[in-house]
A and B are shown apart, each in its own frame.
Chain A
Amino acid sequence: MLRAAPWLMIALLTLPVLAGLSAILLPAFGYLPALQHNGFGLMVWRELLETPGIGRSAGLSLSAALLTPLLSLMLVMLFLASTSGTRWASAMRRLVAPLLAVPHAAAAFGLAFLIAPSGFLLRLISPELSGWQRPPDLLILNDPLGLTMMLGLVLKEIPFLLLMALAALPQLNADQRVNMARSLGYRPILAWLWTVAPALYPLLRLPLFAVIAFASATVDVALILGPTLPPTLSVRIIGWFSDPDLNQRLLASAAALLQLMITLSAIGVWIAAEKIVARLYRALLLSGHRRHGHALLNVLGKSLMVITLGTLLISLLLLVIHAFAGPWRFPDNLPAAWTLQHWQSVGPLLLAPLGNTLLLGLVSTAVAVLLVVAVLEHESRQGRKPAQILWAIYIPLLVPQVAFLYGLTLLLEQLRWQPGLLMVGFAHSLFVVPYVYLSLAEPYRRLDPRWQQLAATLGASPNRTWWHIKLPLLLAPLATAFAVGVAVSIGQYLATLLTGAGRVSTLTTEAVALASGGTRGTIAVWALLQAAVPMLGFAMAIMLPRLWWRKRRDMTGQLT
C-alpha cells in the first residue's frame, strides 16, 4: 500500500499534464474529428498569426514571465541580505504564511482599489496636492503595457519566494558564512550577498521557474489588472475556448501550444541569463568590494519590502472598507456612511459558491494530505527518497495551467465525462498535492529519527508508532500543510472554470466574474470572503495544535 504511494503521486501529477498537452496537439494542426475537422496542416496557425494583436498578446505574456520573477527575486534577496540575523527575519516568517494564503484574485482586487484613478492612493493626495476634484482620466488599471498586472503578480510572488527562501536558509548555515566574511572585512549585507546568496539561489530555482510559468499564463490576475486591448495570450485562449462558435477551439488549441512555447522560452531565456549573471556576479564578488553601497542596500532592502508587503496589507484593508462602504464621493478619504447593503445583496447568492469552495478545499486537501503522508512515510521507512518525486511535484507548476488544463478539458469532453465537482476536485488536487508536499516534506524529514527507533525498541510496530508517536509530533506541520492545501484550492480560478465547464461556482469564480461590470461593494464582499476563508484556515492551523497541547510544554511552538 505504502509502496505504491510514490508512484501513485508521480502518476497523478504527470499523466494529466501529459494527457492535456497531447490533447491540444492535434487540434492545433487542424484535426478535431468531433467537430468534423479532419484536415491536417498549418491553417490554424496561419489564422492565429493573422489574428490582430496576437504578437502584442504574446509579448505581454513573455515580458510578464521575465519581469515578475526578476523583480520578486531581487526584492527578496535584498531584503534577506539586509535583515539576516536580525529580528526582522523572524517577524517576517510569521507574516509570510498568512499573506501567502491570500488568493491572487483577492490581492489583485485590493490593489485595484488602491491604485485606480478613483482609488485610495489618489484620494489621499486629492484635492490638496493634486488639485483633482474628480478621478483623473488615467489608464492605471488595465494599462496597455501590463505594468499593473505585473505589480499585482509581484506582490503575491514575493511571499511565495520568501517562504521558500526562509525554508531553505537553515541548511546553509547563513550566520556562519556571514561571520566568516565579516571577519575578512566585509560589511554584513555584502557578506550575505557574496557568501549566502550564491548558495541560496540554486534552492530557489524551481520555485522561480514556477513563478515564470504562473506569471506567463495567469488568467485571473490578467482579467482583473491586465490590459484589455489586446489582453494577454492566456485571456484570449479562454475567450476562444468559451466562444459559442466551437470552431474557435482549434484556434484556442494552437494558442495554448503557443503559450507553452512562450513559457518554455521564458524559462530558456532565464537559464541563459543565469550563466551571464553568474559570471558578472563572480567578477563583482572577487573584486573585493566590502563597504561601498552598504548603506544604500540596507535602506533599499528594508524599505522596498515594507512598501511591498504594506501595499498588500493596505489592499486587503481596502477590501474590508469597500465591503462596508456606503456612498463615497471621489476626493473623500473615507466613505460618508457605512452600510451592510453589499452583504445583503450578496447573501442569498452566497450559499452554493461557499459550499462548493469548502467542499472542494477540504476534500482535495484531505486526499492530498493522505497521499503526501503516505509518500513521506514510505520514504522514512525506506530510508531513501526517490529523486523523481521533486520533479513530478513541479510538473503541474511549470507547465502553464491554461495549456494543459484546456487540453484536459477537451479530452474529458471527448470522453463524455460530466463536468462537475468531482472533475474540479481532481483538477484542484493537481495543484494542492505539490504545495502540501512542499509544505510538509521538510518538517517530516526533520523529525528526529530516534523517536521512531525508540518506539521500535519498545516493541511498537511501524503503524502503531505512526499513530501514537509520529502523528502527534507532526500535528502542527500537518495542520499547516492542511491550511496551505485549502488555500491553494480556494485560489484556483482556471482549474475550476475549465473542468467545471463554468457550471461549478466558487468564491473565486464569482469574484473574478465580477471583474468587468461588478460594483465595487459586491466585488469587495466576494474578494474579502475569498481571502478570509484561507486566512481563517491558517489561524486555526496555528491555534488548534497549541490548544491541544497546552498541557505539554515541549509540544507548543517548537514545530511550526
Chain B
Amino acid sequence: MSGVCLTLKDVHISLHGKALLQVNTRIEPGATLTVMGPSGIGKSSLLAYVAGFLASDFSASGEIFLGERCLNSLPAEQRGIGLLFQDPLLFPQLSVAQNLLFAVPRHVSHRQQQVDQALEAVGLKGFGDRDPATLSGGQKARVALQRLLLSQPKAVLLDEPFSRLDAHLRQDIRQHVFQTLRDAALPTILVTHDVDDAAASGGSVIELS
C-alpha cells in the first residue's frame, strides 16, 4: 500500500491574539509525528486545525497538504483525515456493525462485507448486532480504530487516544494502533503527554512549551 505525505507548512495558531504554537513539518506515509507538551498549550487545537474544525475563537494560518492537494479550503468531511479521540465515541444509538457501516463511503462495493471483515480482523466476529455499551473498553477501542480505517482516510490524527485506557490494556492497544497505521501507510500526528506513547510511536517528537 502506498500512501501520501502530510505536510504542515508554516502553521501558526493563536488564541485571542496570543500565539500558541507554530509547526513546519512533513510526515511520510506510515510515519508518526508526536506532539508533546503540558495541557492548555494548544496541542488539540493543532489537530482541530488540521481536521478542519478549529473553533472560531482561535486564529490560525499556514497550509496543510495531503500529497499535492491543499486542504485548507475543504470542509472537514472532504479532507480525508481520520481522528481518534480520547474516548472511543461509538455512536450509542447504532449497533456495532452500524457504527462501522456509517464510516464506509457510499461508492464502496460490498459495504456490509467490508464491515464483517473489519470486525473479524480484530477478533470481534459475531459482535455486529451488539449494543456498543455492552463492549469492554479494549473492544470499544478496537472498533473505533476499525471504523476510522473503513472511512479510508489518507492521514490520521490521534488525540491522546490511550490516556483513558486501563494500564494493562494500554500497551496492547497502543501496539495494535501503531502497527495498523504503519501497515496502512498512513501519516499520523499523535498528541499526548505520555512519554511511553511517544516512544511506542517510533517517530520524531516535537516538544511544545
Contact = CB atoms under 8 A, between A and B. Distances in A.
Interface in A515-560: 549, 551-555
A458 B55 contact: no
B91 A469 contact: yes
Contacts of B102: 455, 458, 460, 468
A551 B102 CA distance: 19
A176 interface: no
Contact of B53 (A453, A473, A551): A453
Contacts of B77: 455-462
A461 B52 CA distance: 13
B105 interface: yes
A115 B95 CA distance: 55
B148 interface: yes
Interface in B72-91: 75-83, 85, 87, 89, 91
B133 A454 contact: no
B132 interface: yes
B56 A384 contact: yes
A451 B103 contact: no
A456 B131 contact: no
A202 interface: no
A383 interface: yes
Nearest to A454: B89
A191 B23 CA distance: 49
User: B92, B134, B157: which has the most chain A beta carbons within 10 Å?
Assistant: B92
B76 A456 contact: yes
A450 interface: yes
Nearest to B144: A454
A451 B151 contact: no
Interface in A462-486: 462, 468-469, 472-473
Majority-rule SS of B interface residues: loop
B92 A555 contact: yes
B61 to A, nearest CB: 18
Contacts, number: 79
Nearest to B75: A456
Chain A binding surface SS class: helix
Interface string A325-353: 00000000000000000000000000000
A554 B91 CA distance: 9
B142 interface: no
Given A454-B83, A457-B81, A459-B77, A549 B93 contact: yes
A552 to B, nearest CB: 5
Interface string A260-293: 0000000000000000000000000000000000
Contacts of B81: 457
Task: Report which residue of B53, B91, B103 has the largest number of chain A beta carbons within 10 angstroms of its beta carbon.
Answer: B91
B151 A459 contact: yes
Given A472-B93, A552-B131, A458 B82 contact: yes
B42 interface: no
Contacts of B153: 457
Interface string A208-231: 000000000000000000000000
A12 B134 CA distance: 46
Contacts of A468: 102
B147 interface: yes
Interface in A355-408: 382-384
A554 B89 contact: no
A550 B126 CA distance: 21
Contacts of B145: none
A384 B55 CA distance: 9
A549 B131 CA distance: 10
A453 B92 contact: no
Given A457-B76, A457-B153, A473 B89 contact: no
Most chain B CB within 10 A, of A382, A453, A469, A553, is at A453
B66 interface: no
Contacts of A549: 93
Contacts of A553: 92, 131, 133-134
A453 B84 CA distance: 11
A119 to B, nearest CB: 50
Contacts of A555: 92-93
Contacts of B132: 554
B189 interface: no
Contact of B83 (A384, A457, A461, A462): A457
Contacts of B133: 552-554
Interface in B145-166: 147-148, 151-153, 157
B103 A453 contact: no
Given A459-B151, A555-B93, A454 B56 contact: no
Nearest to B86: A450
Contacts of A551: 131
A387 to B, nearest CB: 15
B20 interface: no
A455 B76 CA distance: 9
A151 to B, nearest CB: 45
Given A461-B77, A469-B91, A453 B105 contact: no
B82 A457 contact: yes
A416 to B, nearest CB: 48
A462 B75 CA distance: 10
Contacts of B103: 458-459
Contacts of B51: 453, 456-457
A382 B81 CA distance: 21
Contacts of B148: 457-458
A384 to B, nearest CB: 6
A457 B134 CA distance: 25
Contacts of A459: 77-78, 80, 103, 105, 151-152
A454 B82 CA distance: 8
Contacts of A472: 91, 93-94
23 contacts: A383-B56, A450-B89, A453-B51, A453-B76, A456-B53, A457-B51, A457-B76, A457-B79, A457-B83, A457-B153, A459-B77, A459-B78, A459-B103, A459-B151, A460-B77, A460-B102, A461-B77, A472-B94, A473-B93, A549-B93, A553-B133, A555-B92, A555-B93
**Which 7 A-B residue pairings sit nearest by Cβ, starting from the closest?**
A554-B92, A456-B76, A553-B133, A472-B93, A457-B83, A458-B151, A458-B103
